[in-house]
Structure 1
Amino acid sequence: MEFSANKAIYLQIAEYVCDHILMETWKTNGKVPSVRELAVQLEVNPNTVMRTYDLLQQQEIIANKRGIGFFLTEDSVKKVKSYRKTIFLEEDLPPFFRNIYLLEIGLSELEQRYRQFVEQNFNQNES
């Protein structure tokens, strides 16, 4: 995994974990890689992975079963969506709004492009 310099590594690892949950490569109630396993896989310090897991525990996305390991919670998908939505609305959306304002992009153009994006990227899978 290549890490971006503009965001803390543990947060990027949290995004990586959340992506696996949303893509269902890691299943609800399933065991997630141990701290050491994920650290080796991502070539990071185990303390960095532990910081990620602490964050995800606070968000109730994963739970530690003492002596066994970390597992996804029953409602991990719902919790990931809520966590990611909050980050998007608070951090990503304001600069986006600033740009559409400065570039004078209208809501109708945004809506058209959004529909086109969904059509090209998601609707073709339903055929």
Structure 2
Amino acid sequence: MSFSNDKAIYLQMADRIADRILNGEFLADQRIPSVREYAVSLGVNANTAVKAYDSLAQDGIIYNRRGLGYFVAENAADRIRQSRRKAFFHDALPEVFRQMCLLDISITEVDKHWADYSAATEQQTNNDKL
């Protein structure tokens, strides 16, 4: 995994775990990789992975079973989705609207691109199931 410079590495690592939860790779009450396994898989210091897991635990996304490791919390996907939606509407969407105004892009154009994207994504999902 390559890391960007605009966000702390441990937060990017936490985001990656959250993405995997949202994608259904990790389900509620399922064990996730150990801190050491995760650190080694990404080529980072174990302390950085600890910070990522601590962040996720503080947000109620994962929990620790002493001696067994970390597990996905019951409502993790809902918590992640709610948090990210809030951030999207507060931070990202205003910038999208600003760019749309600067570039004279209508919501109708965006809607068309969204429909095309959705259709392509659905087609890919159907192909993956075959």
Q: What TM-score, normalized by structure 1, do the two folds share?
A: 0.89
Measured in 2, the distance between the counterparts of 1:47 and 1:86 equals 29
User: Counterparts in 2 of 1:1-127, with a 5 A limit?
Assistant: 1-123=1-123, 125-126=125-126
Helix, strand or coil at the partner of 1:2: coil
Q: Any idea what the Cα deviations from partners look like across 1:22-50, whole Å, max 9, x if unmatched?
A: 22222221111111111111111122111
How many residues were matched structurally? Answer: 127
Deviation, structure 1 residue 80:
1.8
Measured in 1, the distance between the counterparts of 2:45 and 2:86 equals 27
Helix, strand or coil at the partner of 2:63: strand
Measured in 1, the distance between the counterparts of 2:59 and 2:7 equals 19
Which sections of structure 1, spanning at least 5 residues, go unmatched?
none
Identity fraction in percent = 38
Helix, strand or coil at the partner of 2:67: coil
Q: What stretches of structure 1 move > 4 A for 4+ residues in a row?
A: none
Deviation, structure 1 residue 88:
2.1
Measured in 2, the distance between the counterparts of 1:34 and 1:124 equals 32
Helix, strand or coil at the partner of 1:13: helix
Which sections of structure 2, spanning at least 5 residues, go unmatched?
none
Measured in 2, the distance between the counterparts of 1:124 and 1:31 equals 29
